[in-house]
C-alpha cells in the first residue's frame, strides 16, 4: 500500500511495512534534541548541528536493533533517512484540559477529582483541532514511514473514571 497497515494471515494479524514486508516494531520513546538547555547545549557540542545529532542517534538506534521511534520534534523526522518508522505525538487531552484551565498539577494528576473531560461534547472538537495543528502543516498523512500517532501519555484513568467524572 505504500504505508504501514495490518493484514490477517490465518488466525494472526501482522503489521506490514510500506513495501509489503512483515514488520516487527522495536521502539524507543522519545527521540528529541533535549528538553533542557543543558541537554541541548551538550548535544550540539557533541554533534555540531541538530541534523547531525538526529543522523547519529538514528544510526545508533538502528545498529542496536530499533525499528521505530516516537519523535519529540520535527527534526527527528531525519530518522526516516535511515529507515526508522515514526510515531507522532498529539496532546489531545492535555491541550483540552489546558484550554479549560485544568492542566496537570503534578505527576500527570488533574484537579477536580482527578478526572479528564473526554465526555465533554467540546472535547471532540478540541481533539480534532489538536490533530489538525500537528498533522496537516507537517504533511504527516502522506509519510510512508509514519507508523501512527499517540494522543496522550500517563493520564489519570482507572476503573472508576466515570464515577469520578460524574
**β-pair partners for 150:** 89
Q: From CA 15, how far away is CA 19, in angstroms rounded?
A: 11
Question: What is the gyration radius of the CA atoms in the chain, in angstroms?
Answer: 19
User: What integer best gives the mean pLDDT of the chain?
Assistant: 80
With bands split at pLDDT 50, 70 and 90, how would you rate the model's confidence at 138?
A: confident
Q: From CA 66, how far away is CA 91, in angstroms rounded?
A: 24
pTM: 0.73
In contact, 47 and 7? CB cutoff 8 Å: no
In contact, 67 and 24? CB cutoff 8 Å: yes
Residue 156 in this model has a pLDDT that exceeds 90? no
In the numeric block, the cell 500537528 is attached to 134
Amino acid at each position: 500500500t505504500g504505508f504501514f497497515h495490518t493484514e490477517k494471515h490465518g488466525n494472526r494479524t501482522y503489521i506490514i511495512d510500506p513495501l509489503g514486508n512483515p514488520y516487527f516494531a522495536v521502539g524507543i520513546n522519545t527521540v528529541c534534541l533535549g528538553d533542557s538547555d543543558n541537554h541541548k547545549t551538550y548535544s550540539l557540542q557533541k554533534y555540531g548541528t541538530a541534523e547531525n545529532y538526529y543522523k547519529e542517534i538514528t544510526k545508533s538506534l538502528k545498529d542496536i536493533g530499533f525499528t521505530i521511534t516516537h519523535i519529540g520534534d520535527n527534526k527527528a523526522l531525519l530518522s526516516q533517512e535511515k529507515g526508522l518508522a515514526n510515531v507522532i505525538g498529539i496532546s489531545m487531552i492535555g491541550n483540552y484540559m489546558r484550554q479549560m484551565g485544568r492542566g496537570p498539577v503534578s505527576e500527570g494528576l488533574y484537579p477536580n477529582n482527578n478526572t479528564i473531560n473526554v465526555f465533554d461534547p467540546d472535547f471532540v472538537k478540541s481533539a480534532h483541532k489538536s490533530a489538525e495543528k500537528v498533522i496537516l502543516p507537517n504533511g504527516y498523512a502522506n509519510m510512508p514511514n509514519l507508523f501512527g500517532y499517540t494522543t496522550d501519555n500517563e493520564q489519570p484513568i482507572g476503573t472508576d473514571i466515570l464515577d469520578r467524572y460524574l
